[in-house]
Structure 1
Amino acid sequence: MEIWPAIDLRFGKPVRLRQGDYEQKTVFGDDPVEFAIRWQQAGAKQLHLVDLDAARGDDPTPNREAVKRIVAETGMRCQLGGGVRDDAAIELLLGVGVSRLVVGSAALKQPDWFADACDRFPGQLAAGIDARDGMVATDGWLETSSTPAIELAQDLRSRTENIAAIIYTDIAKDGMMSGPNFAGLAEMAAATDIPLVASGGVTTYEDVQKLVEMQMPAAIVGRSIYDGVMQLDEVIKIAGDV
């Protein structure tokens, strides 16, 4: 199972939110590159980056500069989510060396465009499906749609064979240190053959082991490694991502 350490960016600084609430954020320092290098030294092969400003329509410039520096200084495979809503953003971000982009709200609101983009950039676009009570949340988690998460995954698969992955996040679990929604992940895995990335609430070594046993292709870890609840090198070892 691949392990993707998360670096969430707000005004160019590394932060973590609780349940996607911008008012409940913890700032972990001034320079996200320091964390990128720390996770690389712990054995990480890839990073999951989130532009929280672009996700809610704020100026993405400071975060995009941080992303450029992370890619340039680590040479790691990076996937980036937040505010990827059009061809211009895709071309810009892939152009700075990001390996994979996560499209969230636009995959729900513009499924034809997203499917076409997947076909034009095969294997480089993933769908970020964020769920609140099983329903898709959009616009930086500020809105909840009437579309079930599983229904969206199946619809996207019916439109394109070139979607790289689904990053599936249960908002109720994200940043809460309470463990993933294993039942929701199992339902999503059973509903589609798109590779699944578990996100939200991965807190203990037991959580990691259970995801391995569920044969999850990948998992994102965030707050637990920032707070020292888990050591990233041990997470990577349990996951077999060595």
Structure 2
Amino acid sequence: MKLWKMNGAGNAFAIFDARSTPFSPSVEQIRQIAADLKADQIIALERDATKDVFMRIWNADGGQVSACGNASRCVGHLILGETGKDRITIQTEADMLKAFRAEGSLITVDMGSPLMGWADIPLAEKMDVRGVDLKIGPIDKPILALPAVVSMGNPHAVFFVEDVNAYDIPKIGPLVENHPLFPQGTNVGFAQVIDKQTIRLRVWERGAGLTKACGTGACAALVCAARAKLTGRKARVIMDGGDLHIEWRESDDHVYLTGPVELEFETDV
């Protein structure tokens, strides 16, 4: 079985080719692979009857999840090169995605439409998703409050802050990730809007922790910022591992995620 170690803007993946050889790791095995290879997510490529490939995703903690934007771009890079096609289709548990090449050796993935209904995210109770009733810190003077929430195939809570470096994200992240308001847990974004076309973002990723980049997190931050009129519908998102470019098109309501990919090594296992 072939193994690729890749990253998208620093977001690291171990990708196993399970199209011919079954790959059914236990939770403990996923955790060990993630630790050994320093991977945020473990990916299995599987055959799909109608799409170019099926992508199965596990977080570093061993939990299986439905979406990962940067992994989709890495897989897109592999399958585009393998097939020679201009565009390829990737099936995930969440949706069918399309990947294609962009300028400057970048890869774009059409992430589909954001889900903004409270039950779609999901939340434990009905709330205004533009700012849910969640506070961190003293009730009368919280340090963070009213995050916007959205699903990009996985749940995201986005706090808009003046300085992303002013918060202890490894301490705050787990509190929000595991808050009762989110029955499936949530990814937690800390977004600093620099101007109408630029967002500085750090993400505590559900099941993986503080990551160098998060593709769905960048998409979520742009969608929430645009809904709040803090940005336009297109922005550069600056993350610890590099820049991602997000566009939420009015024409089809889809979110397009563009950024770099890097193949660190490949081997047979």
Q: Same fold (TM over 0.5)?
A: no
Name the structure with the higher helix share. Answer: 1
TM-score by length of 2: 0.28
Name the structure with the higher strand share. Answer: 2
TM-score by length of 1: 0.30
